[in-house]
Amino acid sequence: MPPTDIAIVGAGLAGLACAKTLAAYDVRLRLYDKGRGPGGRMATRRVEADGHVLNFDHGAQYLTAHGDAFAAVLDAAHAKEWPDAGRRVGVPRMVSVPRALAEGLDIDLSRHVTEISGAPGAWYLHHLDARQVRPGRPMPAAAPERDGPFQAVILAVPAPQAQALLAGPAPHLAAVLDVVRFEPCWALMLAFPERLDLPDTLRPAAGPIGWAARDSSKPGRDASLELWVVQGGPAWSREHVELPAEDAAARLLEAFAVQAGTALPEPFYKSAHRWRYALVEVPLGAPCLWDAASGLGAAGDWCIGARAEAAVDSAAALVAAIRST
């Protein structure tokens, strides 16, 4: 019999798509995500600077739909075309797409899941307040909270994070994920006091920058602002992945000025964000991971390939596997 009480770790596209489909089968669900809101890499940074409220789509820049399932997701979220008919963005922010998927779901936000314990049919999740967890620092002294039992657990997080959680309860599944590789990406957010004489999007053929876009040119944004997101290319981001954020921001801004071919006005806001697991370099080679005997599974774009649609396709494959149990 398929499980009817499931925990999902990760409320990005894969986790939300899994939950939305399983909910139609009257499955009891509980989602956990370390972020302050759902969305994962489809994120928007909101800040205040110089008397302005700024919103930057500092994760996924746009979405493409090759199949009907993902096209339906984008239609339901009212995504609009930008910068051409082949690509779409969330309105008024990219995070609007996952938020539309998240409606009606029970999501525990700001929870950092540290461990899966228990046994098949009775799994427990241990989790901490994610706001107290800092990369490279010891875990908080407070004892994790424990929820469960759950008949099954779905991991909808980047493969390295799924692998760490599977290492205890299912090392044979963790080993399967050894093949998956990601490219990191530094994303620089910039707000300028005046409009730059540049096209809305840039994709240089070489150099440190892989992509740059006038974020404020997207539909539904405040066009009176001059907001840019500049992404480091895969090779540059990999080489500089351990840079302090301030140094990465300075170097990318310098490279952006070189690309612009002119001196840039001083930005009144500048911040860099590191995505360690930005782009899938080597996928799993299977649409999902599911072990019916243990009730443990995983889904994500990393199963299939480097595009957001792959996360939804992977979720569909995992739900089908679970329902056939």
Three-state SS for 226-279 is EEEEEEECHHHHHHCCCCCHHHHHHHHHHHHHHHHCCCCCCCCEEEEEEEEEEE
> Per the domain annotation, does 23 fall within a domain?
yes
In the prediction, which pLDDT does 122 show?
A: 98
> Per the domain annotation, does 300 fall within a domain?
yes
In the prediction, which pLDDT does 25 show?
A: 93
Per the prediction, the chain carries an average pLDDT of: 96
102 and 239 in one domain? no
144 and 18 in one domain? yes
In the prediction, which pLDDT does 226 show?
A: 98
Q: What angle do CA 250, 255, 260 make, to 5 degrees?
A: 125
In the prediction, which pLDDT does 53 show?
A: 97
Neighbouring residues of 153: CB distance < 8 A, sequence distance ≥ 6? 6, 7, 8, 9, 116, 123, 125, 295, 296, 297
Three-state SS for 62-73 is CECCCCHHHHHH
139 and 35 in one domain? yes
Is pLDDT of 136 > 70? no
> Per the domain annotation, does 54 fall within a domain?
no
> What CATH number did the domain enclosing 269 receive?
3.90.660.10
> Per the domain annotation, does 66 fall within a domain?
no
> Per the domain annotation, does 251 fall within a domain?
yes
Q: What are the CA-CA distances from residue 232 to residues 8, 18, 88 (Å)?
A: 31, 31, 22
> Per the domain annotation, does 309 fall within a domain?
yes
Rounded mean pLDDT, 272-300? 97
Task: Give the range of the structural domain holding residue 254, as residue numbers without chain letter.
Answer: 181-280
User: pTM of the prediction?
Assistant: 0.95
> What CATH number did the domain enclosing 117 receive?
3.50.50.60
35 and 123 in one domain? yes
Q: Could you read off the pLDDT of 33-78 as tens digits, one per residue?
A: 999 999 999 999 999 999 999 999 999 999 999 999 899 999 999 9
Q: Which of the four pLDDT bands, split at 50, 70 and 90, describes residue 264?
A: very high
